[in-house]
Amino acid sequence: MILRDARLFDGREEVATDGAIRFDPESGRIEAVGDADPQGDEPVISLSDHTILPGLVDAHVHFSLSGQATVEDVVGQSDAELTLTEVKNARTTLESGVTSVRAMGARDLDVVLKGAIDRGEIPGPRTLANCRSITITGGHGHHLGREVDGPTECRKAVREQVKRGAGFIKFMATGGVTTPGTDPETLAFTHEELEALIDEAHRRGVHVATHAHGAEGIKAAAAAGVDTVEHGTFMDEEAIDLLVTNDVTLVPTLSAPYRIARNTEQATEESSRKTGGVYERHIDSFKRAYEAGVTIAGGTDVGTPFNYHGTNSTEISFMVEHGMAPEEAITAMTASAADVVGLDVGVLEPGKFADLLVVEGNPLEDVSLLREPTAVLKGGEGVSGRLPNDPNGH
Ligand SMILES: [Zn+2]
């Protein structure tokens, strides 16, 4: 199958203004990018006035949450109820053009969801999932997480998560906005606990993400070898330098505080107070990290208050609004996020999955066009929208 006459952005740069891409519908993988001449009766679809780019990769989603004002509504739900929620949110995500995600787990549901998606039983993006995020007793996310105290329990918790199928480990280095009674600014774990968590995860062959708002938490996690920092809300120069030196990727999740800051009337008093003034500091941290050359991967924290599944691509608009060039912001949410997720996606090159976004016009000039893709393909198969001029209705 060949799609031609289109602008091609390969996940890193524009490679053609009038190019073609070939993929094998059987394997679902890309075979050629740039030029492709049809062989035999190979189907060809002309996509003039359209841009083809990799399906988006969201490095931070919560399928268990649906934008409720508080997590209280969610923690009382049974596994059966939460599973239905996750199935619905996974489908919405895929159809909006996000073809891969790193899912922040709730209980053990996300690894089960991933299995069903991989087997083709339910529609959803390719997923890297953890089980329960690891937190101190009473710490951020303890409702759906695994509480630990002391280095030995930290190691045990990591081994448990990997045993249950976690593809990465997430822990909460600081308190959070949505968990009452926790402080976003202070380091939650001891240094010994952090080192145990990260060392054990790397021994088990999985990467480690940390939720971290305050600079002390970011620095302690980065010094101990964490792979990604989520949010990075209050970074000082030392924290930014450490991210650069230790090659730690920042997933800024600009969507999350934006949505709370824009919905203060409905947000809980505590989450509004914690977000008030924080949004500006978060943006400032993001800008300084970007200017200092920190690797940035796009992630939305979708599912958190008023941050709805299917609106993921707005994160790209936020990154552009706060200083990134459109190509850089799209790269953050394709190639760079794919590096974090570790799947064969996020770039258009032979051998990668044909997870494609077809967008009318030029999103390199107007990234908001990504919100309304003409068609979304996963492994070369249409999952939403419709390719124009397609006789076979792919
Ligand atoms: Zn999150």
pLDDT in tens, 180-217: 888 888 999 999 999 999 999 999 999 999 999 999 99
User: Span 261-276, mean pLDDT?
Assistant: 69
Same domain, 248 and 138: yes
- Decide if 160 is inside a domain: yes
Q: How many domains does the chain have?
A: 2
| Residue 87, CA distances (Å) to 63, 71, 105, 225 in order | 8, 18, 13, 34
User: Span 95-102, mean pLDDT?
Assistant: 98
- Decide if 33 is inside a domain: yes
pLDDT tens digits along 112-170 = 999 999 999 999 999 999 999 999 999 998 988 999 999 999 999 999 999 999 999 99
What pLDDT was estimated at residue 391? 63
Same domain, 309 and 365: no
Residue 7 domain boundaries? 2-54+346-385
Interval between CA 186 and ligand 1 midpoint (Å) = 17
pLDDT over 70, % of the chain: 96
Q: Is the pLDDT of residue 270 over 80?
A: no
**What is the rounded CA–CA span in Å between residue 140 and residue 123?**
31
CATH number of domain containing 26? 2.30.40.10
Interval between CA 135 and ligand 1 midpoint (Å) = 13
Interval between CA 394 and ligand 1 midpoint (Å) = 34
**What is the rounded CA–CA span in Å between residue 378 and residue 54?**
10
Same domain, 270 and 206: yes
- Decide if 95 is inside a domain: yes
Q: Around ion ligand 1, which residues have CB less than 5 A away?
A: 301
**What is the rounded CA–CA span in Å between residue 172 and residue 209?**
9
What pLDDT was estimated at residue 34? 93
Interval between CA 2 and ligand 1 midpoint (Å) = 38
Same domain, 363 and 325: no
Phi, psi of 311 (to 5 degrees): -100, 15
pLDDT over 90, % of the chain: 83
Same domain, 373 and 322: no
Interval between CA 182 and ligand 1 midpoint (Å) = 15
Same domain, 260 and 358: no
- Look up residue 334 and give its two tokens: 């394709």
Same domain, 47 and 61: no
